[in-house]
Structure 1
Amino acid sequence: MTKKILILEDNELMIEVMTYILYNYGYEVVSSIYPEKVFDHIKSSRPDLVILDTWQPALDSHEVCRLLKLNVATRNLPVIICSENEDVVALYPDEKCAPNGILYKPFGMNSLIRTIEYQLAA
């Protein structure tokens, strides 16, 4: 069964690159530049994992992650945060609201795939 990844990223080129890589590794990809619609996307596409960019202009990704982790319907959905900030872990003092994984930018194709595979296997 093909695993589905939801990418929430404000950079459309980054979405294209990640989508290309993930398709080539056999994943189905759904993407959006609108993090405020995360629950609509989850409800309609039923992803197996969510990738969030840290700097979203409309809604902070830390808040999106917190909302996902506190919601009964989505709390077990793996969330990976993509960040340029190496101190991103400090932004999640409450462990139950923290992402499952972090990809530090710039990241390579192997890091992306390894992080996704690790989260989907957990």
Structure 2
Amino acid sequence: MSRKILAVDDDNDIVDIIKIILEDEGYEVSTLTNGNNVLNEISKFRPDLILLDVMLGGIDGREICKAIKTHSLFKNIPVVMISASHNLHNLLKLPGSPNDFLAKPFDIDHLIKKVKAQFAA
């Protein structure tokens, strides 16, 4: 059974690239290009990991992360925040914070390492 990953980014090219890379690694990947339906998609898809962009076209991904991390059914799903802002490491210490952080632009090997690290944790 393959692990399931939900990738959320408002850039179609980025979610397409993430999907291709991770499906190549044997993961089942679902993608969203806005933050409006994240909790619904989590309920339906039941991901083992969520890759979540910080800025989602007017919606703050950090708020979505907090909603996931405080939700009784979803709080144990690891969340890796993705952003072009490189100063988000301090987010990792706050309540409702992501499990890890990936800076854009990311290289393929770095993305794969971050994903594998979450599954190894």
After TM superposition, the score normalised by the length of structure 1 is 0.93
1:18 maps onto 2:55 in alignment? no
Tell me if structure 1 keeps the 8 A contact 2:55–2:61: yes
Please give the secondary structure, in 1, of the residue aligned with 2:72: coil
Question: What is the distance in 2 between the residues matched to 1:9 and 1:27?
Answer: 18
Distance in structure 1 (CA, Å) of the matches to 2:67 and 2:2? 26
More helix by share: 1
Query: How far apart are residue 89 of structure 1 and its match?
Result: 2.6
Query: Does structure 2 retain, via aligned residues, the 8 Å contact 1:35–1:58?
Result: no
Distance, in Å, in 1 between the alignment partners of 2:44 and 2:104 is: 29
Structure 2 counterpart of 1:116? 115
Find the counterpart in structure 2 of residue 101 from structure 1: 100
Partner SS, residue 52 of structure 2: strand
C-alpha RMSD of the superposition: 1.2
Is 1:43 matched with 2:47? no
Q: Distance in 2 between matches of 1:93 and 1:118?
A: 18
| Structure 1 moving runs of 4+ over 6 Å | none
- Identity across matched positions, percent: 32
Number of aligned residue pairs: give it.
Answer: 121
In structure 1, stretches of 5+ residues that fail to align are: none
Report if aligned partners of 1:9, 1:33 keep a CA contact under 8 Å in 2.
yes
How big is the shift at 1:93?
5.4
2:92, 2:99 within 8 Å by CA — same for their partners in 1?
no
